[in-house]
Amino acid sequence: MNGHPTREEDFDLFALGALDREEREAIESHVVACSACARKVAEAHGRMALLAFAAPRVEPSPERKDSLMRQVRARARDKARTQAAGEPGLFGRWWAAVLVPVGVVLTLVTIFLWTENRRLDQELASLRTDMRQRQEQVQTARAIAELMAAPDTNVVALTPMPGMPKGAARVVYNARMGMLVYDGQLESAPAQKSYQLWLVPRNGQPISAGVFTSASGETSNWMIKLPRGITPIAFAVTLEPAGGMPQPTGPKVLVGPVS
């Protein structure tokens, strides 16, 4: 293997011991000089360890238990004979004393790397969400700038009707672009009620351009896309049941004729 493993699943197969000897040795020699692939091998070991913990418990049959016990007793006798011979037993214990702690350390490192990788993935997802939101904000700002700069954009002031909640607003609208921006202040809507902005066209039924509840002293503003080419004769805010209505049913709160 002259470069990185070409298949991501090779790392999991390596951790499972499912690769043939040539492939296994190629990865072992490669990860010595490649920290990125070494990390992938560690992550694969971590995944395999988690899969082992997640496996359902299976009770062996009595015959299997007897077979295992016979193997354990036979290995115990072999170990006793090996230790009685002297140096081989000491050599085996020396290797066990070295390999067991190393295995524990590798397991802990693998779990740490898996946890760290998961944390980094979560941070990356958060950064992507934040970047997407910022891009949307930039696009909205550009659209509003284009709307305000267009020579055929109309700015319509909306004034309160007698006996209605106090407030004022303006609508910036461009029929060619099909864009509308509302910006205004109103007293809070009564309980179970909502304010609703309407574009009143020269022909046809009023078109809803937004539903809001407002809050005293706070500014409500938004941008909305509407069908292009609609010529308005006025804009109005009415008081409607909570959530708005398909067509105006309540009293007019703010009205602004288009000159």
Map out the domains of the chain with their CATH numbers: 154-257 (2.60.40)
> Which of 74-78, 187-191, 253-257 has the least mean pLDDT?
74-78
Of the chain, the percentage scoring pLDDT greater than 70 comes to: 77
Q: Which residues are paired to 102 by β-bridges? A: none
What is residue 49's three-state secondary structure? helix
Residue where the block lists tokens 């921006």: 181
Distance CA 217, CA 167 (A): 9
Start-end of H helices in the chain: 9-16, 21-31, 35-54, 62-84, 87-149
**DSSP 8-class letter at 208:** E
The CA-based angle 126-136-138, given to 5 degrees, is: 115
What pLDDT is stored for residue 103 in this prediction?
Answer: 64
Output the pLDDT for position 251. 96
The residue assigned the tokens 């109005």 is 236
* Segment of 7-11, 110-114, 180-184 carrying the highest mean pLDDT: 180-184
pLDDT digits (tens, 9 = 90+) for 78-99: 766 665 555 444 445 544 555 5
Gap between the Cα atoms of 91 and 83, Å rounded: 9
Per-residue model confidence as pLDDT tens digits over 108-138: 777 877 787 788 788 778 878 888 888 887 7
Asked which of 3-7, 143-147, 150-154 is least confident by mean pLDDT, the reply is 3-7
> What pLDDT is recorded for position 38?
81
* pLDDT confidence tier of residue 228, bands split at 50, 70 and 90: very high
Tokens describing residue 27? 């990865």
CA dihedral over 229, 158, 180, 209, signed as positive or negative: negative
